[in-house]
Amino acid sequence: MSIVSSQRSRIALWLTAVAFVIVLQFWWIPGQTYRASDSYSTMSDGKLGLFRVLERLFPEVTREADSLIPKGTQTMILVDPPTDLDSSTRFELNKFVSHGGTLVFAPGIESDIGPYNEFGFDLMLHDSNIRSKVSVTGPIVEGTRTWESNRKIKTRPYFSHTDLLTDTEGGVHATAIELGRGTVVACSGPEAFSNKAMLDPERAETAVRLIEYAHSLNTKSNRNTAGIVICERMNDARTGDVWGILLGPALRHGSLQIVIIGLLVAWLGYEQFGPHRKRGKAGRKSLTDSAEALGNLQFRTKNGAQIVERYFEYVAMNARRSSGQLANLHSLDWLAARTGLPIEEVKTQMARIGNVLKSGSETPSNVSSIIRWLAIVQQRLLHPQTKRKK
């Protein structure tokens, strides 16, 4: 592949990535719709409106995300949890109520229909099986109120309870069940506590009356020590909510624009510095390349002494690497013992090297002879020969 075609392919790849993110601004990938139902959300299913209303009406209203069970015997609100309650969570809530706490509980819209044995009631589908608005009455409201749900509550007969909201057909949508020293105010659905319901004065009043009734039971038994706590532990435990918020309808465009900026910066850096290149292994120079380099140096400098001096330092450096700091080419006895060359030859050659360095000039033939002898010395220093035992 040529350089031009490779460059075009890279540009096309980067442009495709940027164009894909831009398209996501207008056409999102189909999938499960994110639903924020906590007390921080401003969406229609959120409960921020409920939290703001309760803050104005009651002296102490807090959120609790660190633990499931609040400290003390307070009025706990658990509305529209994102998942069904497992056995351990139900046991902890049952223990909290039995020790004097008050729980306002509304199962989530997507919760399974089934028994809630720990709370003393069963959640059943309404006869129509369609979520619709029904008229309800009860002791906590004046006249009739609108309630939206497709489920109803059936209380266990051996639990003492007070029905708070019932429809015209006798279906129960909110009831207070005594459990130990505390009370569970169970609701058939969470729709009445949503931000959408808070915009309707009648529906907002119904939700507040339910919480007010539950809190009045708690303050009677615990006097002024009780507060209202909105449980956010189960909402906080959802690991996907962080990405769901960033890619939700409210923040999606801003998140995608940040991704586009990141792609453009990466593209700029890639084109400026190029792709990552793997470091290849350097090939070993042959004897011909070394001789050619020395010949060129001799031709340019016209100084054989400098070539001999440089090569001698090179051999001495390699000797120190292989034999340590004890390596000393100026020690004739050590050099002869290390290389296995006759001592007379070592004295003669070292004397020639000394004369060349003192004179400062030498014929190319003598320089070549000295370089060849130094190459033999280096070979023997790096690969010493051992005598075989007979």
pLDDT of residue 175: 94
Q: What is the DSSP letter of 165?
A: E
pLDDT of residue 129: 57
Q: Are 100 and 182 in contact (CB under 8 A)?
A: yes
pLDDT of residue 50: 92
Burial of 177 (0-12, 13-18, 19+ CB in 10 A): buried
Q: Are 377 and 318 in contact (CB under 8 A)?
A: no
pLDDT of residue 390: 42
pLDDT of residue 302: 67
3-state secondary structure of 347: helix
pLDDT of residue 76: 92
Residue ranges of the chain with per-residue pLDDT less than 50: 1, 32-34, 237-240, 387-390
Q: Are 35 and 43 in contact (CB under 8 A)?
A: yes
What count of other Cβ atoms lies within 10 Å of the Cβ of residue 75? 29
Taking the C-alpha atoms of residue 381 and residue 54, their distance in angstroms, rounded to an integer, is: 90
pLDDT of residue 278: 61
Q: What secondary structure does DSSP assign to 286-323, as a single string? A: PHHHHHHHHHHHHHHH--HHHHHHHHHHHHHHHHHHHH
pLDDT of residue 198: 93
pLDDT of residue 252: 75
Q: To which residue do tokens 């060849």 refer? A: 372
Q: Are 229 and 55 in contact (CB under 8 A)?
A: no
pTM above 0.85, yes or no: no
pLDDT of residue 329: 75
- For residue range 238-264, list pLDDT tens digits in order: 444 555 667 666 677 788 888 888 888
- The identity of residue 122, as a single letter, is D
Taking the C-alpha atoms of residue 151 and residue 113, their distance in angstroms, rounded to an integer, is: 9
Q: Are 38 and 47 in contact (CB under 8 A)?
A: yes
pLDDT of residue 54: 93
